[in-house]
Amino acid sequence: MSIKHLRTLVAVAEHRTFSDAADAVCLTHAAVSQQMRALEAELELTLFDRSTRTPTLNATGRALVAKAREVLRGYDNMVPSILDETTLAGEVSLGAVPTTLTGLMPRAMTLLKRTCPALRLSIRPGLTGPLVSALKRDQLDAAVMTKPVVLPENLEFRHIATEPLRLIASAETACDDPLELLATRPFIRFNRDAVVGTQIESWVQERKLRVSETMELDNLDAIASMVHADLGVSIVPQSCVAPAHSLPLKWLDLGPAAPVRHLGLAFKSDTPKARILAEIEQALRDAAGTGGAMPE
């Protein structure tokens, strides 16, 4: 039983079909099928239900996938786990919610590069839900995300910053009452699939506000551009690190019961890269607390 066969098996589980798995592991459909039959023959187990046109994992196959993920995680982290604690090198795959990509992440990565010059980072943007799923499947080492409503037992969440949610409007807007603006101006909604979007929706519903929704976006820069063009108002988290070139907007507090976004670093509790992730966590904390200018 080879590591290659186990990777292919996990790819089939994640991508549902042999064809999609083949694309993921850079093989042909025939090669994937051959590997899976070879694995079944070697283990003397039936892993797939082939009664339908598209083979699907049976209970035995699904159980083996869970074990295969453990084996692959141990194999992939074999070298990092035996490196000396002072050797901060290697590669880390890091997820990040899009709202951090123009402010917090660039500053934190600049600081990290100074302390860990040999460290290679691979950044993958995504919303909190998909990032949690990627962490559970060992597709990411860690992720900068909004704290989810329910945190899986095997994940840790290290708080980095608290970001208040505020209403944004065009700088030329005369009114300073957020409730009046929500009632009278078009509403540009933050994606409800995001944790922050759910928070905003709950806050609006709790106050029985009637908004005239004009669009729904998950990119903070896009929302800011629409608001800057006076196409409506929106509610967004005020980033702990402002982007280098922020648009001039009017930011209004939502009041004492306004929701906040808890931003942090999430990773598996049993990660063998704890030392490196501690450095990343510290860089994120330092970046969140250093104000607006990039470090020289």
Instruction: Specify the CATH number for the domain of residue 22.
Output: 1.10.10.10
Give me the chain's average pLDDT, please.
Answer: 88
Which helix (H) or strand (E) covers residue 159, if one does?
A: strand 155-170
HEC letters along 201-252: HHHHHHCCCCCEEEEEECCHHHHHHHHHCCCCEEEEECCCCCCCCCCCEEEE
Each residue's pLDDT tens digit, 255-287: 888 899 999 999 998 888 888 899 999 999 999
Q: Residue 135: pLDDT above 90?
A: yes
295 assigned to some structural domain: no
Q: How confident is the model at residue 88 (pLDDT cuts 50, 70, 90)?
A: low
DSSP 174: -
82 assigned to some structural domain: no
- Rounded distance, CA 192 to CA 128, Å? 12
- The verdict on 130 and 155 lying in the same domain is yes
Please compute the mean of the pLDDT values over residues 122-130 and round it to a whole number: 93
Provide, rounded to the nearest whole percent, the portion of the chain with pLDDT above 90: 59
Each residue's pLDDT tens digit, 151-209: 888 899 999 999 999 999 999 999 999 999 999 999 999 998 899 999 999 999 999 99
Domain range enclosing 131: 87-161+262-288
Least confident piece of the model among 82-86, 124-128, 226-230: 82-86
Q: How confident is the model at residue 25 (pLDDT cuts 50, 70, 90)?
A: confident
Q: Which two tokens stand for residue 178?
A: 């957020």
- Rounded distance, CA 128 to CA 135, Å? 10
Q: Classify strands 155-170 and 260-268 as parallel, antiparallel or unpaired.
A: antiparallel
Task: Considering only residues 203 and 289, tell me which one the structure prediction assigns the higher pLDDT.
Answer: 203
- Rounded distance, CA 167 to CA 215, Å? 16
DSSP 153: T
Closest CA to 206 of 254, 250, 242, 263: 254
293 assigned to some structural domain: no
Closest CA to 234 of 185, 270, 189, 184: 189
Please give the tally of structural domains in the chain. Answer: 3
Each residue's pLDDT tens digit, 54-64: 889 999 999 99
Contact 165, 259 (CB under 8 A): yes
State which of 36, 57, 76 marks the end of a domain: 76
State which of 50, 76, 102 marks the end of a domain: 76
How would DSSP label each residue in 80-146? HHHS-TT---EEEEEEE-GGGTTTHHHHHHHHHHHH-TTEEEEEEE--HHHHHHHHHTTS-SEEEEE
DSSP 294: P
- The verdict on 252 and 172 lying in the same domain is yes
The pLDDT of residue 89: 65
- Rounded distance, CA 13 to CA 16, Å? 5
